[in-house]
Chain A
């Protein structure tokens, strides 16, 4: 055996913890960033930044009680910072391929992808708080109380916000979907 067994064990433990959190949240954080940026490459770059921050915290020995909250807060800040650096608001090219789960029916896939692009584009045009509320409530299936807490709003205000967000999406997508 190599020397320093305690060091190796503790490092392995650190890596194991990080690895578990990474596996648990990589998809949701990537999705969160992707929806906001409309770009696969930007989403990959910014998601990498988010998890690198988490790893740095781990290495500094900082205790992170709620990794999910930490990751989303980092992601929000990093996306905001990204647009600040670019000096512009989110651009919505709508031409990025969305990677979706396997589906053998190609026609169904194509329709679904077109709908997804339209909705995703719509969400990216919403106000930041509306975007977050929609993503957390519908995609991450956070309870309304948790969404409200994260947004620092009352449950009632959060429900209203979600309702308005869906209405705005309806207005943006025209008659294609009925609310």
Chain B
């Protein structure tokens, strides 16, 4: 078909484009939505909602910060490097205990795999599979964000170890692992409904506190950038940006 005026005019419609601000906001708002419905496989079940695990930890960190009611680089540094130490211990929690056992068993399996000892490896695989099965069967819902954070941390640790083992061709109780992951994901998600709002409060509180602190020129510059980024966040409510801001604030507080 030869080119003609009308064909050219049709092709002019290529210039139709969405409003840039709308397009940017849409992308940010879609990606901030972490809700999911189906979990087709074990790892995807948590991977699809990882923000909740991270958020749980961040919330606990933030909660501790607020409780301190002061700006202390040392405290924040400790929280970042070893948050589990400052999260209240989940006492008398059977679910958590089984998760701990599963974590230890899977770590032992990793060691056995690294040492290439067939006899120990066989025993370790069986024990890990049983421990994951127990953790999945004994899991019951409890009710605080701190518990959710601890649970999420443990499951993430198990997940990481299992992923490494899988790369070596060792698959351990995949169905039970999927069930465990799904249960904990559901639980974490239900606990973390308002976490983004809490994170915002943490960021705002930290900004107010740092505003009253003495900073070096370089720190001041970074602080101003963080504030600008937070202003941007207010427009698009992108969770990933909020997480980034919180991490930057924590690093700034630690003098890094």
B6 and A170 form a contact (CB under 8 A): yes
Flag whether A106 is at the interface (Cβ < 8 A). Answer: no
B13 and A35 form a contact (CB under 8 A): yes
B18 and A138 form a contact (CB under 8 A): no
- How far apart sit A61 and B240, CA to CA, in the bound complex (Å)? 19
Chain A proximity mask over B40-52: 1 for CB below 8 Å, otherwise 0:
1101101111110
Chain B proximity mask over A11-46: 1 for CB below 8 Å, otherwise 0:
110110011001100110011001100000001100
Flag whether A119 is at the interface (Cβ < 8 A). Answer: yes
Closest A residue to B51 by beta carbon equals A11
B18 and A4 form a contact (CB under 8 A): no
Flag whether A163 is at the interface (Cβ < 8 A). Answer: yes
A3 and B57 form a contact (CB under 8 A): yes
B41 and A61 form a contact (CB under 8 A): yes
- How far apart sit A15 and B49, CA to CA, in the bound complex (Å)? 12
Main secondary structure of the interface of B (DSSP, over half): helix
The number of chain A residues touching the other chain, given as a range, is 35 or more
Flag whether A115 is at the interface (Cβ < 8 A). Answer: yes
Partner of A61, one of B9, B33, B48, B58: B48
- How far apart sit A17 and B85, CA to CA, in the bound complex (Å)? 35
B5 to chain A, nearest CB (A): 4
Given contacts A4-B50, A15-B31, contact A30 B10 (CB under 8 A): no
A4 and B15 form a contact (CB under 8 A): no
- How far apart sit A178 and B160, CA to CA, in the bound complex (Å)? 66
Binding site for B on A (CB under 8 A): 1-8, 10-12, 14-15, 18-19, 22-23, 26-27, 30-31, 34-35, 43-44, 47-48, 51-52, 55-56, 59-62, 98-101, 112, 115-116, 118-120, 123, 134, 138-139, 159, 162-163, 166, 169-170, 173, 177-179
List 30 A-B pairs, Cβ < 8 Å. A2-B54, A3-B83, A8-B50, A10-B43, A14-B48, A22-B27, A22-B30, A26-B23, A27-B16, A27-B18, A31-B13, A31-B14, A44-B22, A56-B36, A59-B49, A60-B48, A61-B39, A61-B40, A61-B41, A99-B16, A116-B15, A119-B9, A123-B13, A134-B10, A139-B11, A162-B1, A169-B10, A177-B4, A177-B9, A178-B6
Flag whether B12 is at the interface (Cβ < 8 A). Answer: yes
B6 and A99 form a contact (CB under 8 A): no
